[in-house]
Structure 1
Amino acid sequence: MSANVCCSNSVVQAQKLVDQLRLEASMERIKISLTAADLVQYCQDHRRSDPLLTGISASSNPFKDKKTCVLL
């Protein structure tokens, strides 16, 4: 009985894999060149507000230490 359960379990897993692959194969894909061009345009449009490019001012930085550490 254990062999039958094992075989039926692997058949179920294989069927799930086939269903997943069919689903992925039927998805409509976007060409990478179009997506890359959109990404470049978005980055260029928003570069003035990008903190990685412009930096964060010390007054508006929420991660700035409130107090300095002093050792006596």
Structure 2
Amino acid sequence: MDVYCSNNVLQARRAVEQLRLETELQRIKISAAAEQLVQYCQEHRRADPLLTGIAASSNPFKDKKTCVLL
């Protein structure tokens, strides 16, 4: 039972230390973060394969050979 209690105390101390670290983080407002995210997406949209697609010649997932069943 003593090992169980010391393990719980250790976990609680780690949780408290993590919370202390998180309280020191500098946060930005959600509206500013959203604005930055939109700006980043607009600046990088030409290189985004989800928007522009992948050329068939450079697609690593496309089958190189066709499968023929006899």
C-alpha distance in structure 2 between counterparts of 1:65 and 1:54, whole Å: 20
Larger Cα-atom Rg? 1
TM-score, with length taken from structure 2? 0.76
Q: Cα RMSD between the aligned structures?
A: 1.8
1 or 2, which has the higher helix percentage?
1
Match of 1:32 among 30, 33, 52: 30
CA 1:6–1:66 in 2, change beyond 3 Å: closer, same or farther?
Answer: closer
1:66 is aligned with what amino acid? K
Query: Which consecutive residues of structure 2, in runs of 5 or more, have no partner in the other structure?
Result: none
Deviation at 1:30, TM superposition (A): 1.6
Residue-pair matches, total: 69
TM-score, structure 1 as length reference: 0.75
Q: Percent identity between the aligned chains?
A: 70
Q: Which residue of 2 aligns with 1:64?
A: 62
